[in-house]
Amino acid sequence: MRYLFFLFYLPILLLLAGCWDSLEIENRAFVSGVAIDPGENNEDKNLKMMTQIVIPNGLVSLPNNGNGGGKSYRNLSDTGKTIFEVKSAIEEKEDGNLDNSHIELVIISDELVKSEYKLSDILDVFMRESRMNRDIILAIADGSAEDLLNIDPENVKLPSQYMTELIISNYNLANRDPRRAGDMQYYFIENRSFYLPYLVSIDASNGVELEGAAVFKGENGKMVGTLTEEEVSGLLLTHRDYTETLIVDHNGQKASFTVPDGRTEIKLINRDPENLHFQFDVFLTGELVEAFQGMDFIKEENMEELKKKLRLEAEKVMMKTIRKLRDEYRVDILELHEFLFRKHPEIWKQVENDWDSGKNYFSNVDITLNVDVTIREPGNTN
């Protein structure tokens, strides 16, 4: 009886080995970066997508293997009407199964999002697909996005990884975190304006530079322009907390300051929706890190002079950015809308629908700056 029991149950063990969804790790082709461009001679509104697929063997450098394996990635591209269609087309060129769960970076060509496509339409698949990562870093490329996936950084094996690190470390320097795909949901749903890192390819060996930011208008999800690096500094100074570097011109001599922990508070002075008036209270605590000769920095009155210069410089930089955003682009990426929504919901309700679109209340906003500067230390040397 007992043997019969075994004979019956033993074959059932075989079922344990069966698995519908088994997919060996060798057969997975991990995608680490994606570049999206407009298709060539584009009357059908095609998208061209390039995926960077990791070749795990190339990543490992064995000690006796001299130059450390071969190439560690391959780039495959194709065109199609939607991202998913292109993905299927790429799948036909790849022996493994594309695995999207570890995508780190998505670069989109500015030509695509300036006129033809809403950014939210392009990115939708990156949020809807169940295996997608909320942490994907987004960047806008000046011109061709594909070119950036072909750069050759010396220290990192994967171009996409290089650019991800580039963006993250630069943002971290300013005490910020770059926008991730998961964060974008808010901007897309509420039609709010936002900015993304703007990558420019250069002719140096590492081939890429983070050059300011691309500004998007929330209303139609299209790119309205870019901010230069200096303008991004001005933008950062309006944020709640930041780390920044400012260069002051003092009687023809330059002095550089870092602001390791700056702080800005927003106040609403005039509550009339037609003519809102904001005040930015900026608390800068500077540290002198570099100065050209010609000044006695240990003397207090010299420091006072320098403080005033630093204040004027900060105001100048901030005002330039504010003017550009308010008068030229007319989009609110100063996050005043968030401030209103959180702190003055009753006013926000009145201006909500025409904030930086339609009637554009934002373009009629008055902004005054109130900069408070402290210079904590002049540095080690006089």
Partner 1 sequence: MRTVRYADDKISNFTILVIVPSIVIAVGILTYPRTLAEQTEGADGWVTLLIGGAVCALTAFLITKIASLFPGQSFYTYTSAMLTKPVAFLSSILFFLLAVTIVSYETAFIANISHHYLFEKTPTEAINLAFLLVVLYAVVGERVAIFRMGFGIMILTAVATVILVVTALPAADWNRMLPVLTTDVKSYLGELPDSILSYSGVFILFFYMKLTRTPEKSVKSAVIGAAGVTVFYITVYLMCIAVLGNVSTANTVYPLVELANTVRTVGFLDRIESLYFIIWITTVFMTTALAFDISVLIITDIFPKANKTFVAFSLLPVMYLISLLPTDHFQIAKLGTIIGYTAKGLTIAVLAGLWLMYGIKGRKRKGERS
Binding site residues, partner 1, CB under 8 A: 19-21, 101-102, 130-131, 133-135, 182-183, 185-186, 189-190, 338, 341-343, 345
- Distance between CA atoms of residues 140 and 20, nearest Å: 39
Q: Residue 79's beta-bridge partner residues?
A: 48
Rounded least distance, CB 318 to partner 1, Å: 21
Rounded least distance, CB 144 to partner 1, Å: 29
Rounded least distance, CB 94 to partner 1, Å: 18
C-beta closer to partner 1: residue 32 or 201: 32
Rounded least distance, CB 149 to partner 1, Å: 21
Rounded least distance, CB 339 to partner 1, Å: 9
- Distance between CA atoms of residues 113 and 138, nearest Å: 13
Rounded least distance, CB 180 to partner 1, Å: 8
Torsion sign over Cα 301, 303, 309, 312: negative
C-beta closer to partner 1: residue 19 or 204: 19
Contact 208, 166 (CB under 8 A): yes
C-beta closer to partner 1: residue 335 or 356: 335
C-beta closer to partner 1: residue 242 or 329: 242
C-beta closer to partner 1: residue 99 or 116: 99
Rounded least distance, CB 20 to partner 1, Å: 4
Contact 185, 127 (CB under 8 A): yes
Rounded least distance, CB 78 to partner 1, Å: 22
**Of 369, 373, 371, whose CA–CA distance to 285 is shortest?**
373
Helix (H) or strand (E) holding 381: none
C-beta closer to partner 1: residue 58 or 182: 182
Residue 157 vs residues 32, 59, 160: alpha-carbon distances, Å: 12, 7, 9
Contact 52, 73 (CB under 8 A): yes
Displacement of CA 238 from its chain's centroid (Å) = 17
- Distance between CA atoms of residues 67 and 381, nearest Å: 45
Nearby residues of 370 by Cβ (< 8 Å), 6 or more positions away: 279, 280, 281, 282
Helix (H) or strand (E) holding 230: helix 229-237
**Of 194, 180, 183, whose CA–CA distance to 332 is shortest?**
194
φ, ψ of residue 191 to 5 degrees: the values are 55, 45
C-beta closer to partner 1: residue 267 or 343: 343
C-beta closer to partner 1: residue 102 or 324: 102
Rounded least distance, CB 319 to partner 1, Å: 25
Rg (alpha carbons) of the chain, rounded to whole number: 26
Contact 114, 223 (CB under 8 A): yes
Tokens encoding 380: 């080690």
C-beta closer to partner 1: residue 299 or 343: 343
